[in-house]
Structure 1
């Protein structure tokens, strides 16, 4: 199965349930002067990270191979498209369709684990201006020893798709980052707790490529198991899933 196909039928759940990104991350990037020009957001999905880039001053070329995701992105960020600050493209990390030397920063949020290093780096070199940077970002609840994080892990691990390696789910192992940023990188981590209603928790699980989709016969069993975890950990009408946002900023040369 091609990687974009794993998200077919999940775009609405993705847009409604996935966590945004911390304001502090946008402030850090803006403070480095990286958002004053044009940015390529590759694997942009439904535009959650694209929106943060726009809010902190960037003009963005959003590149996304999945047509359902692109449609969600274009609709959600229509004012930025109308204002000329956002262009939406069908493409991949290996073939973005962007012009050579057209962006000063390439970002990939919650997407870089799908990329093949060698052809991706070749394409990023082509579209970046001299001295341009590459940023990989992902939100990750794993490795945070909070009560609901542990309950969520124990619940969803029962429903992993066959063949999925939890070590590679949603992130690039740090030992492999130099393959994408051969001239070196710096790392920042931002705390990012997210409150989830029961409905948003269901949608969050349904948006994840390695779990049953809302149309899968196993989805009902998974949400029933999530309801039990929710009931055991809810404070009022929500539970808190404690994410950390990992950011790797590097260079190609």
Structure 2
């Protein structure tokens, strides 16, 4: 989180007071203020206000139907790429199985056309081919199930909608390391600028504190686009979908 007023980073700092539940009251102070520099900009914001605004901003982005549709499109590509090695293996198994089926028919004809010791020897060869055929069929069935299971692990459009539109509620259920990981996937930089209230721009994230006003800008990953970072975070949303279901969150209607 960068202070664009002086170019320094913001650092979390405890005020020494606590909330009613005993949680320390944290602030984000500009490094120049913490170091008590001569030309300090004095920027200081309550951490809870900043964090709430960040989550609300991401939640608002997630309500955009185009974002969800883009995530679903990316999901389809993820499914295709992630199962390609398995599908290639299945093709190889199917090819070998067709070959063994042809061999088995030939061995059966040979066995029926001869008698005695030679017939027994041919029968043994035919049984070996039949055994390999069974092994191939088992492998094919297993790999087919692997593809189905893998695709089920990836979120559907409904799952993505549930995670995105309830981002703030789900976010609160995550442990701090998970929260940090998820935000890191989405946000490249947070820029804070101290402004006069008269200069506040419409549709911008404004934080008011102690008669001072600050404008917050979220710079998302992938060239500050809104859709791309959410697509990048899809693996995490896959995990969030089960949490959304357990908590009974309803997804946004895609109709």
Q: TM-score, normalised by structure 1?
A: 0.22
Higher strand share: 1
TM-score, reference length from structure 2? 0.22
